[in-house]
Amino acid sequence: MPLHPEIARILAAMPAPPPGPLDPVALRAAEEAQVAPPEERLPLHAVEDTTARTASGEVPVRIYTPAEADAYGLLVYFHGGAFFLGSLETHDHVARSLAKETGLKVVSVGYRLAPEAAFPAGLDDCHAVVRWAAGENANLAWDGTTLAVAGDSSGGNFAAAVAAKAHDDGFDRITHQILYYPSLDLDFDVDRHASLRENAVGYGLETAGLKPFNAFYLDSGADPADPLVSPVKRADLTGLPPALVVTGQYDPMRDEGELYGERLRAAGVEATVSRYEGAGHGFVQHFSWIPEYHKVFEETRDFLGRR
């Protein structure tokens, strides 16, 4: 199907990006300026900002409690933003929808960003918060059952990398990995995946923008050949948690996500790959108000409920 008409209309009205090098500070400020005020956000039983004291240091987190209960399953969420954008605020609406639809307590992670924090600072923060969330000192009333990791775009990269790192460390408590249009291959050779050419121009995120947007992360020491940087390059995927991989039809990074799902299944890991037609990159963050795409939260709920 063609690009969803609402998405096409909004993309057509967007101004061209300013010329010259990317300015992280200016881009972050512009993104924060689009955040809805608190009174317009989806209400939940409780939303609390706190600090996770972890082996990686003190990491800001925001905890979303959907309803009052004695104990909860947990979902630890990593926001997207090409490793240098995004925050607890810019993705607050995603975390709220996840909490409301799944019924899980959601822990959103304010991990350190490139270029100010060199690799692997952000990844270490995410990994450490998962371990913290499962510990008694977190006071999250975890019921000991579901402990999911989820992320969109670069956050999906972190979710996959955290699941792999935890497995290698012998930490077997992660029960699910949920990857929304994940950035899993930071080698941006346009011949590596067909979608890099098919969806190169005209759908929001463009293939030519992948290198400069991810340069802050790569220049900080992240090697694209490292499976913790490009999780699709991991040789052995056996033993990883079941995965939901969500892709967009018109996303340049569509094929790397779908390849990861195929490789997980080949390794004996339960993996659901779900392509959303008419959608480009970023649709969970930017277009989940469209009913067809809000269903991603229902699909997430159903995936979590199968185990």
Of 153, 170, 144, give the one whose Cα is nearest residue 282.
153
Read off the tokens for 216: 């802050």
Torsion angle of the four alpha carbons 266, 190, 287, 59, in this order, in degrees rounded to the nearest 10: 70
Which residue reads 């955040």 in tokens? Answer: 35
Q: Report the SS3 class of residue 234.
A: coil
183 among known catalytic residues: no
Q: Per the residue annotation, which of 92, 124, 152, 251 is the catalytic one?
A: 251
Which residue reads 């190169």 in tokens? Answer: 200
Q: Per the residue annotation, which of 127, 167, 176, 281 is the catalytic one?
A: 281
251 among known catalytic residues: yes
Distances (CA, A) of 241 to 106, 146, 161: 18, 11, 12
Which residue reads 């249009």 in tokens? Answer: 181
153 among known catalytic residues: yes
Of 57, 65, 122, give the one whose Cα is nearest residue 98.
65
| CA distance linking residue 267 with residue 238, whole number of Å | 5
Q: Per the residue annotation, which of 56, 153, 154, 230 is the catalytic one?
A: 153
Catalytic residue ranges: 153, 251, 281
